[in-house]
Structure 1
Amino acid sequence: MDTSALARTGRFRAERAARGSVTEGAARAGLAARGVIYLLVGALALQIAFGATDEQADRGGALAELSHKPFGAVLLWALGIGLVGMALWRLSEALFGSVGKDGRSARKRLLATVRFAFYVFVAYSVLSFAATRNQSGGGSSDQQSRDATSRALEIPACQWLVAAAGIGVVVAGGWIAVRAVLRKYHDKLKLGQLSRRARQLVDVTGVVGGVARGLVFAVAGVFAVRAAIDYEPDRAKGLDDTLRTFADTPLGPWLLACVAAGLVLFGVFSFAMARWQRV
């Protein structure tokens, strides 16, 4: 018996299953769930810009807002399950590669692994909130950032590691924004299925939404670097505090409103990707 042939057959069957209809459905559900979160965070940030809410403009605030809607409990569970789908899709990409000519590269698989770990955490926090309804989606993002930074700075020689991590977030934010401007998402789309109007919608939401998302990442990374250099954990900011910082600039709440609108557009873009992305 040719064991190498059996191994190749097993890998082929596993890869085919990973790219099957179940995984595709999980990916599309996950992209839609991501869209819901960005829509809610962006809407909360818009309300903050005009002084209309005291809610946190982060994942916890979005979950709290969703729980107050009709059938809120059902929506929370659906959101959590969708994010589990996203995590499983990223796991399949880490194991078998993603679509595209370099989808099997070590870089793409490593990126998929990082995304898998991130969405496992997010899905867990959403499902925990749905089950208990007494926590803000794992806690305030601002408090989480300060606590994590404080614990890291207590470890000898970790000051520069925190700074390096912050620089990494800044670079990631720039990378997200640049890829959005260059419309790199076209590589993942079923462009032949898009009408002219649909393609315009995808490009407007993808570029503007991607730039806004990248900007938020980059600014949050800057605060992490400052916290490490000054050895002050309270300088680290989560999503909510980062967004509120835009209102403290000379442009005032209008800059926050523009960034918030961009996050809403990224939510719409996520829905478009759930419809037309190649999986």
Structure 2
Amino acid sequence: MNTSAMARTGGLQARRAARGSVTESAARAGFAARGVIYLLVGALALQIAFGDTHEQADRGGALAELSQKPFGAVLLWALGIGLAGMALWRLSEALFGSVGKDGRSPRKRLLAAVRFAFYVFVAYSVLSFAATRNQSGGSSDRQSRDVTARALDMPAGQWLVGAAGIAIVAAGGWIGVRAVLRKYHDKLRMGQMSPRTRQLVDVTGVAGGAARGLVFAVAGVFAVRAAIDYQPDRAKGLDDTLRTFAGTPLGPWLLVCVAAGLVLFGIFSFAMARWRRV
């Protein structure tokens, strides 16, 4: 066997290993962990809409809420490990490609690398909270203001923050449009679902994805505004972004709709954990 053939064989074996049972289990655990976080954030946002809580409707608030439950410490560690599994799966996609006809394209690999970095950060924050019960970085609102302030102090900081905000708006629009168009069908084993299950998946996928995309887009708008006004306080994290919906002419009912959408996205994440092609 020549060198090139050996290299191809080695690459094929590496890709098979990356898509093996361990990586598949890690991915499914990651989707389940993501579902738990969105369920808790959505539930906290619903409580805010009805004036029943002062908790933060973001990842930190969700972790604090979870820590108060029976076996909270065990649940926090399980959540962090699940998110680390999601990061591992995204890394395998960046290195070896994902399922699908264009899964090995540079664009898909770059997107997987970005998602890997994101989930590394999220998993680290959850595991740190599980170990210390202290959200050292503060709320998402404070983190957003601090990051924006540091970015604005950099050379061409306004342009950097503005570009990041526009990218977040675009990402939100992309998420929402793909959800409405049901692009997730390509990634799910739809044939294994009953007709009623497919209907439930579509309700949670469309409504949940649209709500998630809207939250991203609005947060991006605030980042752009912070760049234009050169005021870091204009930037908002997840909690402040959600509370903004309650301040619209529609009152708390818009927040109720968005919060319900986030709960549905949590349920959709469980469907991804069960039927996602990995």
Distance 2:126 2:3 in 1: 44
The alignment status of 1:182 with 2:151, answered yes or no, reads: no
Q: What does residue 191 of structure 2 align with?
A: 192
Q: What does residue 18 of structure 1 align with?
A: 18
Q: What does residue 107 of structure 2 align with?
A: 107
Q: What does residue 245 of structure 1 align with?
A: 244
The alignment status of 1:116 with 2:127, answered yes or no, reads: no
Q: What does residue 273 of structure 1 align with?
A: 272
Distance 2:7 2:181 in 1: 40
Distance 2:241 2:65 in 1: 19
| Greater shift in the superposed pair: 156-165 or 22-31 | 156-165
Matches within 5 A, 1:200-219: 200-219=199-218
How far apart are residue 9 of structure 1 and its match?
1.5
Q: What does residue 50 of structure 2 align with?
A: 50
Paired amino acid for 2:45: A
| RMSD across aligned positions (CA) | 0.8
TM-score (norm 1): 0.98
Q: What does residue 167 of structure 2 align with?
A: 168
Q: Which SS does the other structure have where 2:57 is aligned? A: coil
TM-score (norm 2): 0.99
How far apart are residue 134 of structure 1 and its match?
2.1
Matches within 5 A, 1:74-89: 74-89=74-89
Superimposed CA distance per residue, residues 238-263 of structure 1 (whole angstroms, 9 cap, x where no aligned partner): 00000000000001111001000000
How far apart are residue 158 of structure 1 and its match?
1.6
How far apart are residue 7 of structure 1 and its match?
1.4
Distance 1:2 1:133 in 2: 55
Distance 2:187 2:266 in 1: 17
Paired amino acid for 1:204: V
Superimposed CA distance per residue, residues 130-181 of structure 1 (whole angstroms, 9 cap, x where no aligned partner): 0001226x42000000000000001121211110110010010000000000
Distance 1:99 1:194 in 2: 20
How far apart are residue 6 of structure 1 and its match?
1.8
Matches within 5 A, 1:117-132: 117-132=117-132
Q: What does residue 91 of structure 2 align with?
A: 91
Paired amino acid for 2:84: V
Distance 2:184 2:204 in 1: 11
> What percentage of residue pairs aligned between the two structures are identical?
87
Superimposed CA distance per residue, residues 195-234 of structure 1 (whole angstroms, 9 cap, x where no aligned partner): 0011001000000000000000000000000000000000
Distance 1:44 1:36 in 2: 12
How far apart are residue 102 of structure 1 and its match?
1.1
Paired amino acid for 1:114: V
Q: Which SS does the other structure have where 2:271 is aligned? A: helix
Q: What does residue 223 of structure 2 align with?
A: 224
How far apart are residue 184 of structure 1 and its match?
0.2
Distance 1:89 1:180 in 2: 22
Q: Which SS does the other structure have where 2:76 is aligned? A: helix
Distance 2:102 2:217 in 1: 27
For structure 1, the residue ranges without an aligned partner over 5 or more in a row are none
